[in-house]
A = this chain, B = another copy of it.
Protein backbone atom coordinates (compact mmCIF):
# COMPACT_ATOMS: atom_id res chain seq x y z
CA UNK A 1 0.00 0.00 0.00
CA UNK A 2 1.11 3.50 -0.68
CA UNK A 3 2.15 5.09 2.56
CA UNK A 4 0.14 8.05 3.55
CA UNK A 5 3.16 10.25 3.15
CA UNK A 6 3.87 13.20 5.26
CA UNK A 7 0.34 13.63 6.37
CA UNK A 8 -1.56 12.46 9.36
CA UNK A 9 0.83 9.78 10.50
CA UNK A 10 2.50 11.93 13.09
CA UNK A 11 -0.78 11.70 14.96
CA UNK A 12 -0.20 8.00 15.28
CA UNK A 13 -0.59 8.05 19.02
CA UNK A 14 -4.07 9.54 18.99
CA UNK A 15 -6.67 7.44 20.79
CA UNK A 16 -8.96 5.24 18.73
CA UNK A 17 -12.04 7.10 17.51
CA UNK A 18 -15.16 6.50 19.54
CA UNK A 19 -17.71 7.24 16.86
CA UNK A 20 -18.48 8.41 13.34
CA UNK A 21 -17.62 12.07 14.05
CA UNK A 22 -14.27 11.21 15.52
CA UNK A 23 -13.44 8.59 12.93
CA UNK A 24 -13.98 11.09 10.13
CA UNK A 25 -12.42 13.92 12.16
CA UNK A 26 -15.46 16.01 11.36
CA UNK A 27 -14.65 18.39 14.17
CA UNK A 28 -11.65 19.52 12.13
CA UNK A 29 -13.00 18.94 8.65
CA UNK A 30 -16.10 21.07 9.14
CA UNK A 31 -14.10 23.94 10.56
CA UNK A 32 -12.17 24.48 7.35
CA UNK A 33 -14.88 26.62 5.73
CA UNK A 34 -14.01 30.21 6.58
CA UNK A 35 -15.74 32.80 4.41
CA UNK A 36 -13.38 35.69 3.86
CA UNK A 37 -16.33 37.88 2.95
CA UNK A 38 -17.81 37.12 6.37
CA UNK A 39 -14.55 37.98 8.07
CA UNK A 40 -14.57 41.24 6.17
CA UNK A 41 -18.00 41.96 7.59
CA UNK A 42 -20.01 41.53 4.40
CA UNK A 43 -20.83 37.86 4.05
CA UNK A 44 -21.52 36.74 0.49
CA UNK A 45 -23.79 33.74 0.40
CA UNK A 46 -22.15 32.03 -2.57
CA UNK A 47 -18.65 32.03 -1.13
CA UNK A 48 -19.71 29.01 0.92
CA UNK A 49 -20.39 27.04 -2.23
CA UNK A 50 -17.14 28.19 -3.74
CA UNK A 51 -15.16 26.86 -0.79
CA UNK A 52 -17.03 23.57 -0.40
CA UNK A 53 -16.76 22.75 -4.11
CA UNK A 54 -13.03 23.31 -4.19
CA UNK A 55 -12.53 21.34 -1.01
CA UNK A 56 -14.52 18.45 -2.43
CA UNK A 57 -12.25 18.57 -5.49
CA UNK A 58 -9.18 18.48 -3.29
CA UNK A 59 -10.47 15.51 -1.27
CA UNK A 60 -11.01 13.54 -4.45
CA UNK A 61 -7.65 14.64 -5.84
CA UNK A 62 -6.10 13.14 -2.73
CA UNK A 63 -7.96 9.89 -3.34
CA UNK A 64 -6.83 9.75 -6.95
CA UNK A 65 -3.23 10.41 -5.98
CA UNK A 66 -3.51 7.61 -3.45
CA UNK A 67 -4.75 5.20 -6.11
CA UNK A 68 -2.27 6.28 -8.79
CA UNK A 69 0.58 5.98 -6.30
CA UNK A 70 -0.46 2.49 -5.34
CA UNK A 71 -0.71 1.42 -8.99
CA UNK A 72 2.72 2.86 -9.75
CA UNK A 73 4.14 1.00 -6.78
CA UNK A 74 2.68 -2.29 -7.96
CA UNK A 75 4.17 -1.83 -11.42
CA UNK A 76 7.55 -0.86 -10.06
CA UNK A 77 8.07 -3.94 -7.86
CA UNK A 78 10.54 -6.19 -9.69
CA UNK A 79 8.63 -9.33 -8.74
CA UNK A 80 5.28 -7.98 -9.83
CA UNK A 81 3.26 -10.78 -11.36
CA UNK A 82 -0.09 -10.99 -13.08
CA UNK A 83 -1.89 -11.73 -9.84
CA UNK A 84 -1.85 -8.00 -9.19
CA UNK A 85 -3.68 -7.12 -12.40
CA UNK A 86 -7.10 -7.22 -10.72
CA UNK A 87 -5.88 -4.66 -8.17
CA UNK A 88 -4.49 -2.44 -10.88
CA UNK A 89 -7.64 -2.58 -12.93
CA UNK A 90 -9.97 -2.02 -10.00
CA UNK A 91 -8.01 0.97 -8.82
CA UNK A 92 -7.82 2.60 -12.22
CA UNK A 93 -11.53 1.94 -12.67
CA UNK A 94 -12.05 3.77 -9.41
CA UNK A 95 -9.96 6.70 -10.62
CA UNK A 96 -12.06 6.79 -13.75
CA UNK A 97 -15.31 6.85 -11.74
CA UNK A 98 -13.99 9.64 -9.55
CA UNK A 99 -13.01 11.68 -12.57
CA UNK A 100 -16.46 11.16 -14.03
CA UNK A 101 -17.95 12.57 -10.83
CA UNK A 102 -15.60 15.55 -10.87
CA UNK A 103 -16.49 16.33 -14.46
CA UNK A 104 -20.16 16.42 -13.47
CA UNK A 105 -19.47 18.46 -10.36
CA UNK A 106 -18.88 21.69 -12.30
CA UNK A 107 -22.59 21.93 -12.91
CA UNK A 108 -23.00 22.76 -9.24
CA UNK A 109 -20.42 25.52 -9.18
CA UNK A 110 -22.04 26.98 -12.28
CA UNK A 111 -25.07 27.91 -10.17
CA UNK A 112 -22.88 30.70 -8.81
CA UNK A 113 -23.08 33.75 -11.05
CA UNK A 114 -20.50 36.31 -12.19
CA UNK A 115 -22.06 39.01 -10.04
CA UNK A 116 -21.95 36.82 -6.94
CA UNK A 117 -18.40 35.80 -7.68
CA UNK A 118 -17.32 39.38 -8.15
CA UNK A 119 -18.63 40.18 -4.69
CA UNK A 120 -16.11 38.01 -2.86
CA UNK A 121 -13.44 37.71 -5.51
CA UNK A 122 -11.43 40.54 -4.02
CA UNK A 123 -11.01 38.52 -0.81
CA UNK A 124 -9.30 35.75 -2.73
CA UNK A 125 -6.33 38.06 -3.23
CA UNK A 126 -4.00 36.15 -5.52
CA UNK A 127 -5.40 32.72 -4.61
CA UNK A 128 -6.02 30.79 -7.81
CA UNK A 129 -6.64 27.24 -8.88
CA UNK A 130 -3.29 27.49 -10.64
CA UNK A 131 -1.89 26.96 -7.15
CA UNK A 132 -3.47 23.57 -6.52
CA UNK A 133 -0.54 21.41 -5.50
CA UNK A 134 -2.45 18.18 -5.73
CA UNK A 135 -3.59 18.84 -9.29
CA UNK A 136 0.00 19.43 -10.37
CA UNK A 137 1.09 16.27 -8.60
CA UNK A 138 -1.66 14.37 -10.34
CA UNK A 139 -0.57 15.62 -13.74
CA UNK A 140 3.05 14.78 -13.06
CA UNK A 141 2.32 11.35 -11.66
CA UNK A 142 0.18 10.49 -14.64
CA UNK A 143 2.99 11.69 -16.88
CA UNK A 144 2.23 15.14 -18.28
CA UNK A 145 5.47 16.18 -19.92
CA UNK A 146 7.19 19.17 -18.33
CA UNK A 147 8.13 20.62 -21.72
CA UNK A 148 4.54 20.39 -22.91
CA UNK A 149 3.20 22.57 -20.17
CA UNK A 150 1.96 25.99 -21.13
CA UNK A 151 3.05 28.92 -19.06
CA UNK A 152 0.49 31.12 -17.38
CA UNK A 153 1.50 34.77 -17.49
CA UNK A 154 5.00 33.74 -18.42
CA UNK A 155 5.12 31.87 -15.16
CA UNK A 156 6.34 28.31 -14.73
CA UNK A 157 3.78 26.29 -12.78
CA UNK A 158 6.33 25.37 -10.11
CA UNK A 159 7.16 28.95 -9.33
CA UNK A 160 3.90 29.51 -7.48
CA UNK A 161 4.89 27.10 -4.75
CA UNK A 162 7.39 28.34 -2.25
CA UNK A 163 7.18 26.16 0.81
CA UNK A 164 9.83 23.47 0.99
CA UNK A 165 7.44 20.60 1.43
CA UNK A 166 5.42 21.40 -1.68
CA UNK A 167 8.54 21.90 -3.75
CA UNK A 168 9.96 18.60 -2.60
CA UNK A 169 6.71 16.78 -3.41
CA UNK A 170 6.65 18.36 -6.85
CA UNK A 171 10.28 17.51 -7.57
CA UNK A 172 9.66 13.94 -6.48
CA UNK A 173 6.61 13.68 -8.70
CA UNK A 174 8.74 14.72 -11.67
CA UNK A 175 11.66 12.48 -10.85
CA UNK A 176 9.87 9.32 -9.87
CA UNK A 177 8.59 7.17 -12.70
CA UNK A 178 5.17 8.35 -13.80
CA UNK A 179 2.28 6.04 -14.59
CA UNK A 180 3.17 6.51 -18.24
CA UNK A 181 6.77 5.49 -17.56
CA UNK A 182 5.94 2.31 -15.66
CA UNK A 183 3.32 1.31 -18.20
CA UNK A 184 5.85 1.93 -20.96
CA UNK A 185 8.36 -0.42 -19.39
CA UNK A 186 5.67 -3.00 -18.85
CA UNK A 187 4.53 -2.74 -22.47
CA UNK A 188 8.11 -3.25 -23.66
CA UNK A 189 7.97 -6.67 -22.05
CA UNK A 190 4.76 -7.76 -23.81
CA UNK A 191 5.09 -11.49 -24.49
CA UNK A 192 5.44 -12.14 -28.17
CA UNK A 193 7.45 -9.08 -29.09
CA UNK A 194 10.74 -10.93 -29.16
CA UNK A 195 9.79 -14.49 -29.87
CA UNK A 196 11.84 -16.15 -32.58
CA UNK A 197 8.93 -18.11 -33.90
CA UNK A 198 6.47 -15.27 -34.09
CA UNK A 199 8.27 -12.01 -34.82
CA UNK A 200 5.23 -9.83 -34.45
CA UNK A 201 6.62 -6.67 -35.90
CA UNK A 202 7.91 -8.25 -39.08
CA UNK A 203 4.64 -10.12 -39.52
CA UNK A 204 2.66 -6.94 -38.98
CA UNK A 205 4.76 -5.06 -41.51
CA UNK A 206 4.11 -7.76 -44.11
CA UNK A 207 0.40 -7.67 -43.40
CA UNK A 208 0.22 -3.93 -43.82
CA UNK A 209 1.96 -4.19 -47.16
CA UNK A 210 -0.37 -6.90 -48.33
CA UNK A 211 -3.42 -4.94 -47.17
CA UNK A 212 -2.41 -1.73 -48.93
CA UNK A 213 -1.50 -3.73 -51.97
CA UNK A 214 -4.73 -5.63 -52.26
CA UNK A 215 -7.10 -2.86 -51.33
CA UNK A 216 -5.49 0.19 -52.94
CA UNK A 217 -2.54 -0.62 -55.15
CA UNK A 218 -4.18 -3.39 -57.18
CA UNK A 219 -7.31 -1.29 -57.81
CA UNK A 220 -4.96 1.49 -58.87
CA UNK A 221 -3.27 -0.77 -61.40
CA UNK A 222 -6.58 -1.94 -62.80
CA UNK A 223 -8.15 1.51 -62.90
CA UNK A 224 -8.39 3.08 -66.32
CA UNK A 225 -9.95 6.45 -65.56
CA UNK A 226 -6.92 8.74 -65.12
CA UNK A 227 -8.62 10.92 -62.52
CA UNK A 228 -9.59 7.94 -60.35
CA UNK A 229 -6.13 6.53 -60.90
CA UNK A 230 -4.60 9.65 -59.51
CA UNK A 231 -6.87 9.64 -56.48
CA UNK A 232 -5.98 6.06 -55.71
CA UNK A 233 -2.28 6.77 -56.06
CA UNK A 234 -2.56 9.69 -53.68
CA UNK A 235 -4.48 7.55 -51.23
CA UNK A 236 -1.91 4.78 -51.45
CA UNK A 237 0.91 7.20 -50.82
CA UNK A 238 -0.85 8.78 -47.88
CA UNK A 239 -1.52 5.46 -46.20
CA UNK A 240 2.00 4.28 -46.80
CA UNK A 241 3.45 7.45 -45.34
CA UNK A 242 1.19 7.12 -42.34
CA UNK A 243 2.26 3.54 -41.61
CA UNK A 244 5.90 4.42 -42.25
CA UNK A 245 5.83 6.70 -39.24
CA UNK A 246 5.47 3.64 -37.05
CA UNK A 247 7.13 0.94 -39.13
CA UNK A 248 10.35 2.83 -39.71
CA UNK A 249 12.12 3.12 -36.33
CA UNK A 250 14.03 6.22 -37.42
CA UNK A 251 10.87 8.02 -38.46
CA UNK A 252 9.15 6.86 -35.29
CA UNK A 253 11.89 8.30 -33.16
CA UNK A 254 11.70 11.64 -34.94
CA UNK A 255 8.15 11.90 -33.65
CA UNK A 256 9.30 10.95 -30.17
CA UNK A 257 11.95 13.65 -30.27
CA UNK A 258 9.39 16.18 -31.42
CA UNK A 259 7.25 15.13 -28.46
CA UNK A 260 4.43 13.95 -30.71
CA UNK A 261 4.77 10.40 -29.51
CA UNK A 262 5.47 9.54 -25.89
CA UNK A 263 5.93 5.74 -25.86
CA UNK A 264 9.16 4.06 -26.93
CA UNK A 265 8.94 2.19 -30.23
CA UNK A 266 9.02 -1.12 -28.43
CA UNK A 267 6.26 -0.14 -26.01
CA UNK A 268 4.17 1.08 -28.94
CA UNK A 269 4.58 -2.31 -30.59
CA UNK A 270 3.50 -3.97 -27.36
CA UNK A 271 0.39 -1.86 -27.17
CA UNK A 272 -0.50 -2.65 -30.78
CA UNK A 273 0.14 -6.35 -30.19
CA UNK A 274 -2.23 -6.36 -27.21
CA UNK A 275 -4.88 -4.47 -29.16
CA UNK A 276 -4.81 -6.83 -32.10
CA UNK A 277 -4.80 -10.02 -30.03
CA UNK A 278 -6.91 -8.86 -27.12
CA UNK A 279 -9.12 -11.95 -27.43
CA UNK A 280 -6.29 -14.18 -26.26
CA UNK A 281 -6.88 -14.85 -22.55
CA UNK A 282 -3.57 -13.51 -21.43
CA UNK A 283 -4.27 -10.16 -23.06
CA UNK A 284 -7.75 -9.71 -21.60
CA UNK A 285 -6.58 -7.73 -18.62
CA UNK A 286 -3.78 -5.88 -20.40
CA UNK A 287 -6.41 -4.79 -22.89
CA UNK A 288 -8.72 -3.65 -20.11
CA UNK A 289 -5.80 -1.70 -18.70
CA UNK A 290 -5.10 0.11 -21.98
CA UNK A 291 -8.79 1.00 -22.23
CA UNK A 292 -8.81 2.39 -18.71
CA UNK A 293 -5.75 4.53 -19.38
CA UNK A 294 -7.55 6.07 -22.34
CA UNK A 295 -10.68 6.57 -20.23
CA UNK A 296 -8.66 8.42 -17.61
CA UNK A 297 -6.87 10.55 -20.16
CA UNK A 298 -10.12 11.35 -21.88
CA UNK A 299 -11.82 12.27 -18.61
CA UNK A 300 -8.90 14.49 -17.62
CA UNK A 301 -9.40 16.51 -20.80
CA UNK A 302 -13.15 16.60 -20.25
CA UNK A 303 -12.47 17.92 -16.78
CA UNK A 304 -10.24 20.59 -18.26
CA UNK A 305 -12.83 21.46 -20.86
CA UNK A 306 -15.67 21.74 -18.35
CA UNK A 307 -13.40 23.82 -16.16
CA UNK A 308 -12.79 26.25 -19.03
CA UNK A 309 -16.51 26.52 -19.76
CA UNK A 310 -17.17 27.33 -16.12
CA UNK A 311 -14.43 29.95 -15.99
CA UNK A 312 -15.62 31.57 -19.23
CA UNK A 313 -19.06 31.88 -17.75
CA UNK A 314 -17.78 33.27 -14.47
CA UNK A 315 -15.22 35.79 -15.61
CA UNK A 316 -15.55 35.97 -19.37
CA UNK A 317 -12.27 36.91 -20.96
CA UNK A 318 -11.64 39.44 -18.19
CA UNK A 319 -7.94 39.96 -17.81
CA UNK A 320 -6.27 39.36 -14.49
CA UNK A 321 -3.97 41.90 -12.93
CA UNK A 322 -1.00 39.78 -13.88
CA UNK A 323 -1.55 39.80 -17.60
CA UNK A 324 -3.11 37.13 -19.79
CA UNK A 325 -6.61 35.88 -19.09
CA UNK A 326 -7.30 32.76 -17.08
CA UNK A 327 -9.73 31.68 -19.76
CA UNK A 328 -7.17 31.71 -22.53
CA UNK A 329 -4.57 29.91 -20.44
CA UNK A 330 -6.99 27.15 -19.48
CA UNK A 331 -8.30 26.89 -23.02
CA UNK A 332 -4.79 26.14 -24.22
CA UNK A 333 -4.44 23.23 -21.79
CA UNK A 334 -7.35 21.39 -23.41
CA UNK A 335 -5.03 20.05 -26.02
CA UNK A 336 -3.21 16.95 -27.08
CA UNK A 337 -0.11 18.42 -25.42
CA UNK A 338 -1.63 17.53 -22.08
CA UNK A 339 -2.73 14.09 -23.13
CA UNK A 340 -0.54 11.50 -21.51
CA UNK A 341 -1.65 8.39 -23.34
CA UNK A 342 -2.13 10.02 -26.71
CA UNK A 343 -0.26 7.15 -28.36
CA UNK A 344 -2.97 4.74 -27.28
CA UNK A 345 -5.65 6.85 -28.95
CA UNK A 346 -3.55 6.91 -32.08
CA UNK A 347 -3.30 3.13 -32.12
CA UNK A 348 -6.62 3.02 -33.90
CA UNK A 349 -4.99 4.74 -36.86
CA UNK A 350 -2.91 1.61 -37.36
CA UNK A 351 -5.43 -1.09 -36.80
CA UNK A 352 -5.88 -3.27 -39.88
CA UNK A 353 -8.86 -5.45 -40.78
CA UNK A 354 -9.14 -8.68 -38.84
CA UNK A 355 -8.50 -10.86 -41.87
CA UNK A 356 -5.10 -9.26 -42.35
CA UNK A 357 -3.93 -9.64 -38.76
CA UNK A 358 -1.04 -12.16 -38.70
CA UNK A 359 -2.18 -15.52 -37.32
CA UNK A 360 -0.52 -16.65 -34.10
CA UNK A 361 1.87 -19.55 -34.14
CA UNK A 362 0.84 -22.56 -32.08
CA UNK A 363 3.39 -21.85 -29.41
CA UNK A 364 2.53 -18.16 -29.30
CA UNK A 365 -1.12 -19.11 -29.00
CA UNK A 366 -0.19 -21.27 -26.06
CA UNK A 367 1.80 -18.55 -24.38
CA UNK A 368 -1.15 -16.24 -24.61
CA UNK A 369 -3.56 -18.74 -23.19
CA UNK A 370 -1.54 -18.99 -20.01
CA UNK A 371 -0.96 -16.61 -17.21
CA UNK A 372 2.55 -16.51 -15.96
CA UNK A 373 3.37 -16.61 -12.31
CA UNK A 374 6.38 -17.97 -10.62
CA UNK A 375 4.90 -21.33 -9.76
CA UNK A 376 3.45 -21.86 -13.14
CA UNK A 377 6.39 -20.74 -15.18
CA UNK A 378 8.27 -23.50 -13.41
CA UNK A 379 5.88 -26.02 -14.85
CA UNK A 380 5.88 -24.45 -18.23
CA UNK A 381 9.62 -24.84 -18.36
CA UNK A 382 9.03 -28.52 -18.19
CA UNK A 383 6.14 -28.78 -20.53
CA UNK A 384 7.66 -26.43 -22.98
CA UNK A 385 10.76 -28.52 -23.33
CA UNK A 386 8.47 -31.13 -24.85
CA UNK A 387 7.35 -28.66 -27.42
CA UNK A 388 9.81 -26.57 -29.28
CA UNK A 389 13.36 -25.43 -29.02
CA UNK A 390 12.83 -21.72 -28.99
CA UNK A 391 10.99 -21.84 -25.72
CA UNK A 392 13.84 -20.36 -23.79
CA UNK A 393 13.30 -17.09 -25.54
CA UNK A 394 9.61 -17.38 -24.99
CA UNK A 395 10.07 -17.75 -21.30
CA UNK A 396 12.31 -14.76 -21.11
CA UNK A 397 9.82 -12.47 -22.71
CA UNK A 398 7.13 -13.91 -20.56
CA UNK A 399 8.93 -13.50 -17.30
CA UNK A 400 9.80 -9.96 -18.23
CA UNK A 401 6.17 -9.12 -18.85
CA UNK A 402 5.19 -10.37 -15.48
CA UNK A 403 8.14 -8.92 -13.69
Q: Which residues of A contact B (CB under 8 A)?
A: 1-4, 7-9, 11-12, 14, 16-26, 28-36, 38-39, 43-45, 48-49, 51-52, 54-56, 58-60, 62-63, 66, 70, 82-83, 85-87, 89-90, 93-94, 97-98, 101, 104-105, 107-108, 110-111, 113-115, 118-119, 123-134, 160, 166, 231, 235, 238-239, 242, 275-276, 278-282, 284-285, 287-288, 291, 294-295, 298, 301-302, 305-306, 309, 312-319, 321, 345-354, 362, 365-366, 369-371, 373, 375-376, 379-380, 382-383, 386-387
Contact = CB atoms under 8 A, between A and B. Distances in A.
A24 B55 contact: yes
B101 A97 contact: no
Given A8-B31, A313-B345, A281 B108 contact: no
Nearest to A34: B8
A347 B316 contact: yes
Contacts of A118: 351-354
B375 A365 contact: yes
B86 A17 contact: no
5 contacts: A4-B33, A49-B94, A97-B107, A119-B353, A316-B345
B105 A101 contact: yes
A24 B51 contact: yes
A98 B12 CA distance: 34
Contacts of A298: 309, 313
